[in-house]
Structure 1
Amino acid sequence: MKRSKYVQLSLAASVAMAISGCGPTEKTYSVQKKYNFQSVQQCADEKLPVDVCSEAYMTAMAEHRRIAPVYDSQDDCDADFVAGWCQQDSAGKFLPKLGGFELTADGEVTQSQVDAAKAQLPASETTNGGSGFSGSSLLTGLLIGNMLSNNRNSYYSQPVYRYRDDRGNYGSSTLGQRVSTGSTFNRSNQAKYGSGYSTSTFKSGSKPVSIASSTSRGGFGSQASARSGWGGSGRSFGGSSS
C-alpha cells in the first residue's frame, strides 16, 4: 500500500512539472550597448556594477600590454597617436598611454526585468506606457547593469587610445577600429620586425580576467589605480583632454 501511494505521488509530481513546462515562455529582449570610458568611476556613473567596471579596466590593461604598438622613438609614436601622449618603458622604447577602455555588453533580459527596471525610473523617463521595452538610455543602462551583475560572460573589454585624424581632430578608439579604417602603424616595431597588425591581432571576444591575475603581472598599475583611473588621477587615465 505504501509503495502504491509513493508511485501515485511521483506520477502526480511528474504531471505537475510537465504542465508547468508547457506554460507560456516569458518574452525576452536583446540589449546591446558599446561604452567608451576613461575611468572606472565614469563606468560606475553609468549604473554599471563597480566590480564589472574594475574587471573591464584590468582586462583592457592586460590587452594593452599585449598589443600596444612599440616604437624606437617618441616622434614615431607621437605621429601615430597624440604628441606628448607616449611614454617610455624600462627598455627605452615608446608606447602610447592607455586612454580608457571600451566595454561592449550583449545579452538578453526578460519582460519582468524590464518591468522592474521601469519601476526605478523617474516619471519623465517612462516613455512607454505599455509593457514593452522602450529602450531609453537610462532604462537600457539599468537593464545592462542587472544583466552584467548576473552574467559575467555577457561583455568584453578592449583598450582605447587617443589619436589625431587627418584633419587634426582628436578622437579615441580601439586599435582594431583604427586598423579597420586603414591604419597600419608601420612605424611600430611590430610592423618592422613582425607580422604587423590585422583584425586577427585583436581578441574580439576578450572576456574579463581576474584582478588578481592581472595585477600579479605588474608594470601597468594595481587594483587601487584600477578603481581610480590611470596613474591614480581619480577620473581619467592621464593627460589633458583636447
Structure 2
Amino acid sequence: MKRSKYVQLSLAASVAMAISGCGPTEKTYPVQKKYNFQSVQQCADEKLPVDVCSDAYMKAMAEHRRIAPVYDNQADCDADFVPDWCQQDSAGKFIPKLGGFELNAEGEVTQSQVDAAKAQLPASEASAAGSGFSGSSLLTGLLIGNMLSSNRNSYYSEPVYRYRDDRGGYSNSTLAQRVSTGSTFNRSNQARYGSSNYSDTITRSKAATVASATSRGGFGSQASARSGWGGSSKSSGGSSS
C-alpha cells in the first residue's frame, strides 16, 4: 500500500512539472543593425564592447589580406578606388588601403531585455517607445551592445574601401556592395589572370561567410575557403585616417 501511494505521488509530481513547463514563453524581437567604422575607437564610441570592436577589425583585416584586388600599376588601382589611396606591397604590386570595417549585428532579444534597455534611456525616449519594441535608433544601439556583450557570435565583419561615387563624392563600401552596383574590378590581376568573373567570386565569398556564421549559431565566423582573390598576394593595409 505504501508503495502504491509512493508511485501515485511520483506520478502527480511528474504531471505538475510537465504542466509548469508548458507555461507561456517570453516574447522576443529580432534586432539587426549594420555599422560602418573607420577605426576601433569609432566603434567603441558607439558604446559597442571594445573587445568586439577589436575582434571585428582584426577579422576585417584578415579578410582584406585575402580578397583585396591586386594591380600591376597604381593608375589601375586608383581608377577602381581613390587617387593616391592605393599602396605598394612587398611584391611591388598595388592594393587599396583598408578603409575600415563593416560590422553587421543580428539576433533576438527578449521583452525583459528590452525593458532593461529602456530603463537606460532618457525618460522622453522611454515613454515614446511604448510597451513593445519600437526599434528606435538609441534603443536598438543599447540592445545591440548588450547582445554583443553576451553573445560574441551575433555579428560578422567585412573590410570596407574608399571609392569615388557617381556624384563625385567619397564613400566607404564593401567589395560585395560595389559588385552589387556594377563594379567588376576587371583591371585587377585576379580578374585578368584568374577566373573569368571575379565579381561573382566576391559575391560567393560574402554568401559563404554569412552561411558559415549562421550554421554555427551566429555571426562572426569567417568562411575558410576563398578562391582566387588575393590568394598569393601579401598586403599590408591599415585603417584610414
Matched with 1:201 is 205
Aligned to 2:26: 26
CA distance in 1 between counterparts of 2:235 and 2:102 reads: 17
What's the TM-score once normalised by structure 1's chain length?
A: 0.81
Deviations 1:207-234 (A, max 9, x none): 4369xxxxxxxx778xxxxxxxx85xxx
Query: Residue 153 of structure 1 aligns to a residue in which SS?
Result: coil
Q: 1:152 Cα shift?
A: 2.3
Give secondary structure in 2 for the equivalent of 1:69: coil
Within 5 Å, give how 1:1-242 maps onto structure 2.
Answer: 7=7, 10-128=10-128, 130-195=130-195, 196-198=198-200, 199-202=203-206, 203-205=208-210, 207-208=219-220, 237-239=239-241
Distance 1:94 1:68 in 2: 10
Name 2:227's counterpart in structure 1.
none
SS at match of 1:126: helix
The size of the alignment, in residue pairs, is: 218
TM-score by length of 2: 0.81
Q: Which moved more, 1:3-12 or 1:50-59?
A: 3-12
2 CA distance for matches of 1:56 and 1:116?
Answer: 26
* Structure 2 residue runs without a partner (length 5+): 214-218, 223-233
The whole-number CA distance in structure 2 between the counterparts of 1:7 and 1:189 is 77
Name the CA shift for 1:44/1:8 in 2 (closer, same or farther; >3 Å). farther
Distance in 2 (CA, whole Å) between partners of 1:7 and 1:54 is: 58
Measured at CA, do residues 156 and 3 of structure 1 come closer, stay the same or move farther in structure 2, by a change above 3 Å? farther
Q: Deviations over 1:178-209 (max 9, x none)?
A: 00110000110010011122211334415436
1:234 alignment partner in structure 2: none
Relative to structure 1, the CA distance from residue 95 to residue 9 in structure 2 (aligned partners, 3 Å threshold; closer, same or farther) is: farther
Whole-angstrom distance in 2 between the partners of 1:148 and 1:162: 27
